[in-house]
Chain A
């Protein structure tokens, strides 16, 4: 082992050095604490044996400096102390010394102390190696999660459909690297625009995988799309039927007990009528000028929970000046430090505050209000909001 001695009394210093070298250790003997500290900063030592009373830097300060230094390897600190200096011993141990040795040192006692130190050093090295392995694994997983999160971001609305008199905006705040929420606005055909917000139960990779898979099923362009096909609505499948097909395709038993809530709607660009279904999902909120906000609730089970569910459908005739908000439950269920939910009323207030703002800015305002309610940026659930405005 590499051992650093800090001792200003040269006979003790020389005796220690000789004894340690006879046992095969690599020893540097410093004349005081300052020299020892200088040497410790530039070289790696396994064990430091230090006297207490020394000029320039004393034993206590040396121990404190060593303990305060950011070093990759642990140094085992043995304090040399006289029999009558119990107070120094306590102060030294409190400052960070691992062990002590009475002066004049007894070689047998020194050997026992060194063995104890060697065991600690070996344990510390094994721990450091395991930490390094864990850190490497953690770095790899973080890189993978970052890559997966970037892939998930590509599934969010890119260019929203261009339809005269219609504006869309959205906000999306995953609470972890990967989200269980998803949302999108897509052109189904010349007449219809599909829009949805879905929220998979739970968090993390399994929830995100189901979210991505369900997103693919809701894409009109994917090979396995459930939203388009032959039918009376120019190939668009009705929202209730889409929900039923999703329910059949994603039973929770096959998806690690994960299910998801969904609001899916078809907006007719000519009549401004929205046909929609909600599967265990918060209903859309209609904001009409001159009227108070109204939530269109619908009672139905989430997707994948029970097989054979028939989903209801409802219609909202939108008018110029209307705004319609669809959101995940992360919005209203976000808790403040007192464990109180953000709730519908605060959401309505935030929506009303942003009523005169451009649509995208009104979404930012809602997010700001939720974060302020939470008290920090790290939300407990994913937050997704989708809004359509009729000009």
Chain B
């Protein structure tokens, strides 16, 4: 069982429909990098307000895959933006990037195993 997401909960969520899961993972592949770019850019420029929307969107996106670690990382960055706590934002963004990448890899591996 991967650490990146709850496999059983995810399969329950999609009623075991691997094809549909594949469709949504492709959407994650398409949309997550753009959101992470926006997050990096906002963090680099110290724009707390600009940090909120993409991290909030990414949080909602990874929640669809029962991915608690990536979700928690996105939430942390979002809260830093809302509360204007930017001192430790760079490492938090790195954690988010890492967990999102690992989630995508884990999902692809899971899909391959299912085929």
> Are A11 and B64 in touch, CB under 8 angstroms?
yes
User: Is the C-beta of A356 less than 8 angstroms from some C-beta in chain B?
Assistant: no
Asked whether B57 is an interface residue with its Cβ less than 8 Å from the other chain, the reply is yes
Q: Taking A18-B20, A53-B56 as contacts, is the C-beta distance between A104 and B27 under 8 angstroms?
A: no
Partner pick for B64 among A8, A12, A53, CB 8 A cutoff: A12
List CB contacts (< 8 Å) of B2-36 with chain A.
13-15, 20, 23-24, 27-28, 31
Q: Which residues of A contact B15 (CB under 8 A)?
A: 22, 107
Query: Are A14 and B24 in touch, CB under 8 angstroms?
Result: yes
B17, closest chain A residue (CB): A18
Bound: A104/B59 CA distance, A: 10
A19, closest chain B residue (CB): B15
A22, closest chain B residue (CB): B15
Of B14, B20, B24, B60, which contacts A103 at CB under 8 A?
A: B60
Question: How far does the alpha carbon of A358 sit from the alpha carbon of B66 in the complex, in Å?
Answer: 90
Q: Is A82 an interface residue (CB 8 A)?
A: yes
Q: Are B64 and A104 in contact (CB under 8 A)?
A: yes
CB-CB under 8 A for A84 and B75, given A11-B64, A104-B63 = yes
**Once the chains bind, are A11 and B56 in contact (CB under 8 Å)?**
no
B13 partner residues in chain A, CB cutoff 8 A: 15, 104, 107
Within 101-142 of A, Cβ neighbours of B (below 8 Å) are at: 103-104, 107
Distance (whole angstroms) from the CB of A147 to the closest CB of chain B? 63
- CB-defined interface of B55-84 with A at 8 Å, one 1/0 digit per residue? 011011101101000000001000000000
Answer yes or no: A10 CB below 8 A from chain B CBs. yes
Q: Smallest CB-CB separation from A52: which chain B residue?
A: B56
A10 and B31 within 8 A (CB): yes
| Also in contact, A9 and B61, with CB within 8 A (given A15-B24, A18-B20, A107-B13) | yes
Q: Which of A82-111 touch B at CB < 8 Å?
A: 82, 84, 103-104, 107
For the complex, give the distance between the alpha carbons of A199 and B23 in Å. 82
Q: Which residues of A contact B28 (CB under 8 A)?
A: 11
Q: A84-B75, A107-B13 are in contact. Are A12 and B20 (CB under 8 A)?
A: no
Interface set, chain A 256-302, CB cutoff 8 A to B:
none
Is residue B40 contacting chain A, with contact meaning CB distance below 8 A?
A: no
Whether B27 lies near A11 (C-beta < 8 A) is yes
User: Which A residues are CB-close (under 8 A) to B31?
Assistant: 10-11
A9 to B24, CA, bound (A): 11
Determine the chain B residues whose CB is within 8 A of the CB of A53 once the complex forms.
Answer: 53, 56
> Are B64 and A15 in contact, CB atoms less than 8 angstroms apart?
yes
Given A82-B60, A103-B63, A107-B13: A11 in contact with B24 (beta carbons within 8 A): yes
**Distance in Å: Cβ of B54 to nearest Cβ of chain A:** 11
Among the listed B53, B61, B66, which residue makes an inter-chain contact with A11, where contact means beta carbons less than 8 Å apart?
B61
Q: Are A10 and B63 in contact (CB under 8 A)?
A: no
Residues of B within 8 A of A103 (CB): 60, 63
Q: Contact flags (1/0) for A142-182 with B, using CB distance below 8 Å? A: 00000000000000000000000000000000000000000
| B contact set with A: CB distance below 8 Å | 13-15, 20, 23-24, 27-28, 31, 53, 56-57, 59-61, 63-64, 66, 75
13 contacts between A and B (CB under 8 A): A11-B28, A11-B61, A11-B64, A12-B60, A12-B64, A14-B23, A14-B24, A14-B27, A15-B14, A15-B24, A15-B64, A82-B60, A84-B75
| A interface residues with partner B (beta carbon < 8 Å) | 8-12, 14-15, 18, 22, 53, 82, 84, 103-104, 107
* A-B interface, 3 closest residue pairs, ranked by CB to CB distance from nearest: A104-B63, A11-B64, A9-B60
